[in-house]
Structure 1
Amino acid sequence: MNKTKLSNLLKEEESFKLDFKLKLSLEVDSDKKEFVKDVIAMANTEGGRGYIVFGVEDKTKRIIGLTDVPVDIEERIQQIITYRSVPPVPVSFEVLEYKQKQVGILTIYKSRQVPHQMRQNGAFYLRRGSTTDVATRHELAQMLQAQGILSFEQVPCYAATLEDLDFNHIGYALKNFEARSLQQVHMLKALGILSDLDDEKKLCPTCGGLLLFGKLPQIFIPQALLQVDYLGRIMRVTGNISEMIKSFEEQVKPLLPPQYPFEALQEVVANAIIHRDYWNTCLYTRIEIKPESIIVINPRQYQYAFNENLRVHTNPWLYSRLLLMQQEEALHVGIGLGKVEALFGENNQNNFKMNLEKGLFQVQLPGTSYPYQ
């Protein structure tokens, strides 16, 4: 950290990865708890490094400065975090003289051991805008999935049975595996479509198996629903993933102008269905179709990389199985969101937005009144 970097931080508002504190108080237990809670929250929130700047009024940004900073303050901070955070959050602390005042900067590094937990109460924290809050159930699941500890697709759906799978669909999709019989249970288990129950004598579908081959996955995974709002008319699309994508085309394509590049919209919707946050049971994937814009709103997942390719590292098992299943006469997905823009030509209005606070990922495309040439 240098004065230029500090000066730039002071120009910013408090956010997911930036907080301003008037004092650095670590003398009593309650102060230590609040301090570590903020550190854990910033470490658990996706993004790069986080910073807590001490000696600054959070509203006015007025530099008050710190006094009597102990020489061993960084060592004390490390000890407090190690004692209270599981696993310990990687941090560093330094003091800079800025405008003749001492300002303390705590750098919270991007962690490879998310989620971090408060040892004393067992809670997991994260940032919501500029505030610290307890992580919800699905947010915790997001963090675990981001680290490869837990995968929604491979969670057994104990309420479902083999009767809830469409074995005709399985046989068609896996017809390239002619050397193996579909009755060979070990093959379906190896593919992650089936899972053993606790006694290993009964089988049930996994959530991923239902999403790919379920007769009606929404019975067990109600959030796996596609809701289309066409000028105020609400349509709900159900079925497994392939059926939903095809049904969306059958219902929506006739409503759009013939010259509309439907392939682009279909690609965005397919990505939304495949890569949505299935841990979030409160929100559907929504498509709002208006004259001025078509907006696809999705419960977002972790690690969206904003670049020309917009790589999305979510539900890789689902995506890889869909690629494996694609046949010449079947639906093809995967042209890439980077190519979606090109389909709209020079006047493209494509826009990608992430709302971390509301847990949404949004893609905006030109609407039905877009002037095509």
Structure 2
Amino acid sequence: MDSKKLLSLIKKEEGIKLDFKLKLSLEHESSKKEIAKDICAIANSRGGRGYIIVGIEDKTKKVIGLEEGDVIREEQLQQIIASRCEPPIPIAVDNIFIGSKKLCIITIFSGDQKPYQIRENGAFYIRRGSTTDTMRKQELIEAFEENLDFFMETAMINKSDSSFLNEDLIKNYFKNKGIEINDDNKDFLLESAGITKRDKEGGKINCSLGGLLVFSSYNSMWLPHNMIKIINKINKKKDEIIIIQGSILEIIDKFEKEILDIFPRNYPIKAIMESINNAVLYRDYSTYDKFIEVYIDFKEIKIISPGALITRRDICQSKRNMWLYEKLITLDDNKRFLNDGLGFYRIKKTFVSIGKVRFINSIKEDYFKVVLSGINAFK
């Protein structure tokens, strides 16, 4: 966004893809809800990119500017949107001066993940002229039909860099699919597989959420929530807090190495690894403010994964992250991602007549927890 483009937007009237705001505070819960609702509505409305310009008097379009010290940070706004909108909506934030007046421009990119929904109340919003309203039945039907085959993992991660994708992993993936990848077909194959996403208006190639998770060792630059935090209370030779990041397969390999160093040899590590395999595969990656936690104490081991388990009794009768599952079973030579429905049975079987296993699925707090007996049970 440059000043020329900004001036041309200010000349226009508010509409389904343009909103003027005098101020925007991100300190209070009410204002966070309101901006999430506005961005959701603009994203769901037909057309290309949408814009919210802060520092403009909406009725007169007079340039007032932000007050001194007012800063709207992209990272903060991204977190607010990601935690309230599903799927996450790609946005960008620019601060531009018009003369001595600083304005903030929020760009809402046109994605193919419509319709976007507010998590808290389950509502779908849309713009009608310059106002925000709930979507009607026929509008929802049309939006779902238009984007029937979308996966959350193929959502574009704005400002991501495809050069950070692991070339060897990409080659192995397509090789295992019986496809030869080369310079001539690379861009087409990556986009077709949902690993990269091309910005419809600017043409820039970005990575998808799943593309970064599976194929990038450096995805924490854009996805800091993709990590495992180990809290080690049993082995003083190891750090108490251990953070593990990287691509999904790297995270699993690194985690296993750390666990083998922490635990005594008689502890059934397989049960922990089965729990972690499920956690990294089925966690809710649209929850940007939570990560997988593994709490290790003498009495019990807790593996806590963001996102409640989707059971067959839920309205959505499917497993989360099936796009990820396809990529991982294609890449993983160790065959750790079995879709046989026996993962819980294998974990329980390990502890028969030795210790306890509990599975806690909290819809209210939106997490899935596996609780295993600690090392005291194996003394």
SS of the equivalent of 2:241 reads strand
**Does the alignment pair 1:205 with 2:207?**
yes
Contact 2:176 2:330 in 1 (8 A): no
Mapped partners of 2:218, 2:125: distance in 1: 40
Counterpart among 333, 336, 341 of residue 332 in structure 1 = 336
Distance apart, 1:177 and its partner CA: 4.0
Confirm or deny that 1:273 pairs with 2:280: yes
Deviations along 1:52-79, one digit per CA (max 9) or x if unpaired, are: xxxxxxxxxxxxxxxxxxxxxxxxxxxx
1:163 aligns with 2:163: yes
Distance 1:200 1:313, change over 3 A: same
Distance 1:302 1:371 in 2: 29
Does residue 286 of the first structure (1) align with residue 293 of the second (2)?
Answer: yes
The structural deviation recorded for 1:173 is 3.7
Match of 2:140 in 1: none
Work out which of the residue numbers 215, 219, 223 in structure 1 matches 2:217: 215
Partner of 1:367: 374
Pairing 1:240-259 to 2, within 5 Å after superposition: 240-259=247-266
TM-fit CA distance, 1:259: 1.7
User: Cα offset for 1:364?
Assistant: 0.6
The 3-state SS of whatever aligns with 1:369 is helix
Number of residues paired by the alignment? 233
The alpha carbon displacement at 1:148 in A equals 6.6
Q: Is the 8 A contact 1:174 1:325 kept in 2?
A: no
- CA deviation profile, 1:293-349 (whole Å, cap 9, x unmatched): 11011111462348xxxx97111110121112222xx46233623221112223441
In structure 2, the partner of 1:55 is: none
Q: Over alpha carbons, which structure has the higher Rg?
A: 1
Q: Distance in 2 between matches of 1:223 and 1:312?
A: 24
Deviation at 1:275, TM superposition (A): 0.9
In structure 2, stretches of 5+ residues that fail to align are 1-120, 136-143, 235-239
Give how far 1:123 is off. Answer: 6.8
> Contact 2:267–2:378 (CA<8 Å) still a contact in 1?
no
TM-score by length of 2: 0.55
Normalised to the residue count of structure 1, the TM-score between the two structures is 0.56
Q: From 268, 276, 294, give the equivalent of 1:261.
A: 268
The residue type paired with residue 181 of structure 1 is: I
Matched, 1:180 2:184: no
Deviations 1:120-155 (A, max 9, x none): 97479xxxxxxxxxxxxxxxxxxx9xx978633110
Structure 1 stretches of 4+ moved >3 Å? 114-124, 147-151, 199-202
Q: Which runs of 5+ in 1 are unaligned?
A: 1-113, 125-143
**One-letter code aligned to 1:209:** G
Does the 8 Å CA contact 2:329/2:335 hold for their aligned counterparts? no
Q: Is the alpha carbon distance of 1:122 and 1:269 closer, same or farther for their aligned partners in structure 2, counting shifts above 3 Å?
A: farther
- Over the aligned positions, Cα root-mean-square deviation in angstroms equals 3.1
Report sequence identity in percent. 21
> Which piece of structure 1 moves more, 275-284 or 330-339?
330-339
Q: Deviations over 1:250-284 (max 9, x none)?
A: 11112112122211111101111111111111111
Alignment of 1:116-155 (within 5 A): 116=123, 122=133, 151-155=151-155
Q: CA deviation at 1:363?
A: 0.8
Question: Would you say the 8 A contact 1:227–1:237 is kept in 2?
Answer: yes
User: Are residues 249 and 180 of structure 1, via their aligned partners in 2, closer, same or farther at CA, if it must alter by over 3 Å?
Assistant: same
Aligned residue for 2:54?
A: none
**AA paired with 2:232?**
Y
| Corresponding residue number in structure 2 for 1:356 | 363
- 2:7 alignment counterpart: none
Quick one: structure 1 residues 241 and 118, their matched pair in 2 at CA, closer, same or farther if it must change by over 3 Å? closer
